[in-house]
Every structure is written in C-alpha cells, then in structure tokens.
Chains A and B, each alone.
Chain A
Amino acid sequence: MTVKPIPETVSHRLAQAISRIGRGARVVARERILLVGIVIVSGFIIVTILGQIPGFTPYDPVYYRSAPRLQGPSAQHWMGTDQLQRDVFSRVISGGRASLIVAFSAVAISMVGGSVLGWISGFFGGWLDRVLSLAMDALYSFPSIILAITLVVVLGAGLQPMIWSVAIVYVPTYFRVSRAEVLKVRETTYIEAIRAVGASRTRIVLRHMAPNTVNAIMAVSSFNLADAILTVAALSFLGFGLPPPAPDWGFDIQNGQKYLQSGSWWLITFPGLMIVFLSLGFGLIGEGVSDLVNPKRRHKI
C-alpha cells in the first residue's frame, strides 16, 4: 500500500495552523496557573501601551499641574497626588514602559546569546568548554544586582545601557541550561546516527541538538522575566533608569521615599504593587510552563 502525499494547498495549511492554535489554546486553558499568568501579563502590556497615548490616562502623567500637592487617595485622584501636583494613578498606568521594554529586550538578548554559547560549549567540549564555563560561573556567582549596577555605571544611564547590563547579568542562566541539555543528548544513539550519516557539525547542533534545549529554555525564560522586572525596578529605584519627568515605577518609588517620613504612603505603595503583580504574572507563567514541559514536576512541587 502506498501512502498518498497530502496535497499542500494554502487552505490546507491554514486549516493546519488553525488546529494547531486551537490545540495550544486548549492546553493553556487546562493549565490554570499559566492562564492566570498570561491574563495578568497581557493586561499589563495592553494598559502600558494604551497609557502612552495622550488622553488615555485620566490626567496628564507629566504636565498636569492643577491638583492639590501631596494629597492622599480621593475620588478625583484614586491614588493621590505627588509633590508636583501630578496624578499618581495616571503615572502608574503609563509607568511600566521602561520595565517592560528593558525586561523583554534584555531577556531576549541573553536568551539568544546564552543559549548559543551553551550549545557551542556543550557540543565542542575541551578547552573552549572549560574557558566558557569558568567565565560564566564567575559571572553567575556574583550578586546580580551589584553586577547590573556596576555595568550600568560603566555603560551610562538610560534605556539602552540598562538593556545591555541586564542582558549580560542573565547570560549565564541560559548558558548553564542549554549546555546541560546539550550534554544530555550528545552521546545518545540518534546523534551518533546523524553523525554516521555525515551531517555537518553546524547542522547537528542547530537541527538536532538545539530543538532539544528549547523546552528547558522556555521554562527558564519566564522565571527570568519575573526576576528581570525586579532588577530593572531596582536599577531605576537607584536612579539609573529613565530621566526624571518620565513616569517610571522604580523612579517614582525613589521619589516617594523623600515624603515617607510625613506618611505619604500612596506615592510608594501603588507603583510597587504594579511591580509585584507584573512580576507575579511572569512567575505564574513560569510555573505553568514548567508544569507543561515536565509533567512529573506537578506532583513534586
């Protein structure tokens, strides 16, 4: 009996894609933690993007100047006002821009960089592996926040230097994961078979080893985003983030610290809560993805 090749028509491909998305959606819906995390994170992304459009926030987050100074939450100003008579609620809504941009770009950079280095290191072994592992361990054993601060000092303040410093801090995380996964499959029979067929080394790494590491890397990256949000917040709290007038959670908290002694709790509480929820959202996605990737984990943890 001969197997007829399935005709590759456009409509067929479309149907395939739709069924794949449908299957993905069902999987996500079954994993409740993952669903909650995705809802939280996408909610934050939408609100932050809308918050950049003038007129979406109830008051202008930067130039509004006709409210009472340092006033607690009220019907007009749900989260109170700061020392420059600005509405805290409006600033909180639009203040996630830097955190999201830096966290996503930094994690993307370190994911690509760390994974590629990990594949190379794990596949080739020898002195290259030893040198790379040693360098990565040295980076890893250093407190991430101090490393990030030091790098920002060297690179200068602003969005781009912040992205690069946070990215460098997280490279070892991906390096370790992808290297470990490559080592796991390197000596398996199917890799040996591919080698026997005569595949080139690049092809073996990219086509046959890299896909095996993707699961583990995805699980790590969501936890990593949760952590990156906190690192970015800490950096901008310490004053390495966006320059002052722009709304930014970390910086607004630092600003609120000055009025802490007089009991102006609303300046600090609300931006901080945003950071907590966003980071929690990524953390929940991480939990969900790990459960999906590794079903055994569910019973253990």
Chain B
Amino acid sequence: MTTSQPVLRELFSRLPATVELAIFGLLVAVLLGFVTGVIAATRPGQVIDHAIRVFHIGSFAVPLFWFGLMLQVFVAVKLGWLPVAKPLSGNISYAFQSKTGFFLLDGMLQGRWDWVADAARHLILPAITLGFAQAGFLGRMTRASMLEVLDADYVTTARAKGLREWGVVLRHALRNALIPIVTVFGLQFAILIGGAVLTETVFSWPGVASYLMSSITARDYPAIQGTVIFIAIFISVINLIIDVLYTVIDPRVRY
C-alpha cells in the first residue's frame, strides 16, 4: 500500500529473500546445534560436554538483535572482513537483475559469479545471527535425545558387532535421536520466522519481515493484516511439510 503495490504481490516478491535467509540460518543452526549436541552426548561428563552445555544455556540468554549488531560492529566495521548489511553491495545491486528473487540463485542462473560471491559474503553474518539463536535449543535437544538413544539395547548390539564408534553414533543412534528433534523443530520454525523479523531489521534485509516493520512504522493497517496472515499461512505450510518429513525419518509413522 505505501509502496502503491498490492500487498500480496509485494509479499511474494519479498518471500525469496526471507526464505534464503531462513534456509542458511537453519543450516548454521543445524551445524552449530547438531554437531555440538552429538559431541557433548558422546562424551558425557567430560570438560567438552560441560563447555558445550554452558554454550547452549548461554545462547538462550543472548538477544538475537544484539548478537547481530555485535557481529556488525566487530566483524564488519572493526575488522572489515564482511559487509555490514543489505543483501548486495551498492554497485552490484545497481546492475543486478532479479529473476527468481533468490540472490544466490539469480547470480548462478545468469552466470555472474561475482554476484554470487557478493551475495554469499552478505549472507554470512545474517545467517549466523539467525542460526545462533536456534543452535542452543537444537543442541540441547540433540544432546538429551542422543544420550537416551545411546543407552538403548540396539546401540549396544551395534557396538558388540564390532562397528566403529562413529559408525554406531551416526548410523544407529543419530537416526533414532532425530525423531523427537524433528517434532520440536516444527514449533521451532515459528521461532525462526520470529527471529527473521529482528535479523531483517538489523541487516536491512528486504524480506517479508522487514516489510511488516515498515508497514507498522507507516501505520499501514491493511499491509500489517495481510503480512500477519501471510506469515501464519506460511508457517502452517511449513508445519505440514515437516509432518510429511516425519514419515521419512520414522517409517513407523503412517498417515
């Protein structure tokens, strides 16, 4: 409305940016959370286990927007390693032609690898920001669920067969430990979208959530309503997908 565009069209044009951010945020969360959770669970009671648990509990207490700003100040401004904000550099966004709306994909499709590199560099900090907030939760779940599974009889059997420890952990234990984790992750996805609001605000990311914020500032009520409903539908669709995924991970579940 403020942008004199139908709200829905505006939302769809901004969705890819949010999805791109969410996917990479999720990737960071899974890497950070999963890996630390599995490591902690395989060495219960050791120093590394305690260190990881402190990291997990501590990460709950860190406000996501503040963590993003800290990355901006210290990594981007002070060290100058990565760009501060926005999905593309100024000169590139000028020449950039959007086809799909996904910045990385657009660059690849048009064979402009300099665009891809630029977009990737801009994506790192927001993805870490978004992923960090989820990592603690995911890691805690992974650790608890892995500990339970590692005690089970079939894991002992696998060990008795003489399989290597990592084979046991990854093939036999992790797969079963995934079941409760995926269940919780459905709910966690809503929190991911909530986190996207703050991440997009901090990093001036042109996604759905930053549209919500600018509509609120402009008191653009139809746009606010539309965006909120859009987000609700989006979350329901994702939850449906997760339910379907469930059958892949746990073949015992039938619908």
Contacts and interface: CB of A to CB of B under 8 A. Distances in A.
Interface stretch (B4-12, B60-68, B108-116, B154-162): B60-68
Given A238-B201, A272-B63, 5 more contacts: A150-B224, A234-B198, A268-B66, A272-B69, A300-B144
Contacts of B202: 257
A214 interface: no
24 contacts: A141-B190, A141-B235, A141-B239, A142-B232, A143-B191, A143-B231, A145-B198, A146-B197, A146-B231, A234-B198, A238-B198, A260-B77, A263-B73, A265-B73, A265-B74, A265-B78, A268-B69, A269-B73, A276-B63, A280-B58, A280-B60, A280-B61, A283-B57, A300-B147
Contacts of B61: 226, 230, 276-277, 279-280, 283
A71 B78 CA distance: 16
B187 interface: yes
A230 B228 CA distance: 21
Interface in B26-76: 57-58, 60-66, 69-70, 72-74
B178 interface: no
Q: Classify chain A's interface size.
A: 35 or more
Interface of A: 140-146, 149-150, 153, 226-227, 230, 233-234, 237-238, 253, 256-257, 260-261, 263, 265, 268-269, 272, 275-277, 279-280, 283-284, 287, 300-301
Contacts, number: 111
Contacts of A230: 61, 63-64
Contact of B190 (A142, A226, A227, A277): A142
B66 A263 contact: no
A233 B63 contact: yes
Contacts of B63: 230, 233-234, 237, 272, 275-276, 279
Contacts of A146: 193-194, 197, 209, 212, 228, 231
Contacts of A300: 144, 147-148
A284 B209 CA distance: 32
